[in-house]
């Protein structure tokens, strides 16, 4: 399995590795410099492999290796968002949302579309509701919910509108990648 991915895969599921490849591709993390950027207009600040200084203030972002980034994604997004408990198509979508919007927001959106109380904690009621719904339905409404999330960002801070095309392209690509797993 490790030959297919540019990082050590020994401790990770194939579902996580595939979802992470999607995120790394979108974050520019598969380039030689790990997609390092420090755009003053981007609220995330200094970023490499999609890992931002804002999210990880104690990390030295410039010196981050891909394996460091993989470990952070796994521990702080994949596991915390309970992606390992979700069907593969939804795990990709929720993981990408957790990276983009934060874990709590990603889970709240999932709970909203699954029809349970949106408290941001993936528990037994959320699990049951997710598995009671059709994967295709959940994927579709989840991505629509994410689009509303982006619209609210821009409504609160119009300077962020310069990112909307990229955000919507990412949503479209995420939905397409998730459909392939249905």
Domain regions of the chain by residue span: 1-79, 87-182
Residue 124 exposure: Cα atoms within 13 Å on the Cβ side: 0
CATH superfamily of 87-182: Chitosanase, subunit A, domain 1 (1.20.141.10)
> Residue length, the chain?
182
pLDDT the model gives residue 32: 84
pLDDT digits over 74-86, tens only? 999 999 999 999 9
Using pLDDT thresholds of 50, 70 and 90, give the confidence band for residue 1.
Answer: very low
Cα–Cα distances in Å, from 141 out to 52, 58, 109, 181?
28, 36, 10, 17
- Arithmetic mean of pLDDT, 49-65: 93
3-class SS of residue 105: helix
What is residue 41's predicted lDDT score, i.e. its pLDDT? 76
Interval 127-153: pLDDT, tens: 999 999 999 999 999 999 999 999 999
Tokens 């095309």, residue located: 165
| Residue pLDDT, tens place only, 5-29 | 889 898 999 999 999 999 999 988 8
The strand ranges marked E within 89-165 are none
pLDDT score of 181? 87
Angle at CA of residue 55, ends 27 and 127, nearest 5°: 85
Question: Which of 51-60, 79-88, 89-98 has the weakest average pLDDT?
Answer: 51-60
Q: pLDDT tens digits, residue range 27-51? A: 888 888 899 988 887 777 899 999 9
What pLDDT, on a 0 to 100 scale, did the predictor assign at position 44?
Answer: 74
pLDDT at 161: 94
Q: In whole angstroms, what is the distance from residue 47 CA to residue 24 CA?
A: 12
């Amino acid at each position: 399995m490790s030959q297919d991915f540019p990082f050590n895969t020994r401790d990770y599921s194939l579902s996580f590795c595939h979802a992470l490849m999607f995120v790394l591709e979108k974050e520019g993390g598969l380039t030689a410099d790990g997609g390092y950027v420090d755009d003053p207009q981007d609220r995330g600040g200094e970023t490499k492999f999609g890992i931002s200084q804002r999210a990880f203030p104690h990390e030295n972002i410039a010196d981050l290796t891909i394996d460091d980034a993989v470990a952070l994604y796994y521990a702080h997004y994949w596991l915390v968002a309970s992606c390992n408990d979700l069907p593969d198509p939804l795990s990709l979508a929720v993981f990408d949302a957790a990276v983009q919007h934060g874990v709590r927001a990603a889970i709240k959106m999932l709970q909203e579309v699954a029809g349970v109380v949106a408290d941001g904690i993936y528990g037994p009621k959320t699990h049951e509701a997710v598995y009671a719904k059709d994967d295709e339905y959940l994927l579709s409404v989840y991505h629509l919910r994410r689009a509303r999330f982006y619209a609210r960002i821009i409504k609160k801070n119009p300077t962020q509108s310069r990112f909307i095309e990229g955000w919507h392209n990412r949503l479209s690509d995420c939905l397409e990648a998730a459909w392939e797993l249905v």
